[in-house]
Amino acid sequence: MDAVPGTSVRDVDGPHVELLYIDGCPNWEVIAVRLSVALQATGHGGVHVHLRRIDTFEDAEQTGFTGSPMIRLNGVDPFTPPGQPVAFACRVFHDGYDIVSGPTVVHLLDAILAATR
């Protein structure tokens, strides 16, 4: 994955992928690796991930940010329930049993495939 802050390039057939994060919330780096694996596995290894750091609550409001890390595929966060409030905070994910660092590679694969149908 070629993730370059401030850039956004995609291949013709791939999704537009954004990873929004807050400095100090460590899980975005884990998710960046999982995204890379999932993009490779779905044939979209050439997709560049747009990294976007959220610096203020105002940034969070402007972007609809619900916590770090936040993944958007074609402008949609497939992991945020509807009605989730804006948050300038670290985010926790639940896998049905426990609190985890974020979506698994399998969850990301499913979301990427859904976004590219």
pTM of the model: 0.84
**Tens digit of each residue's pLDDT (9 = 90 or more) over 4-18:** 444 444 445 689 999
117 pLDDT tier (thresholds 50, 70, 90): confident
Provide the 3-class DSSP secondary structure of residue 6. Answer: coil
Residue with tokens 């974020």: 102
Average pLDDT, the chain: 88
Name every residue whose Cβ is closer than 8 Å to that of residue 47 and which is 6 or more positions away in sequence: 1, 10, 11, 14, 15, 17, 39
pLDDT over threshold 50, residue 109: yes
Q: Where are the domains of the chain?
A: 17-115
Determine the pLDDT at residue 14. Answer: 81
Kindly state the tokens that stand for 39. 């993009």
Q: What's the CA gap between 37 and 66, in Å, rounded?
A: 24
Confidence bin at 2 (pLDDT 50/70/90): very low
Q: Kind of pairing, strands 93-94 and 99-100?
A: antiparallel
Distance from C-alpha of 88 to C-alpha of 114, rounded to nearest angstrom: 28
pLDDT in tens, 50-86: 999 999 999 999 999 999 999 999 999 999 988 999 9
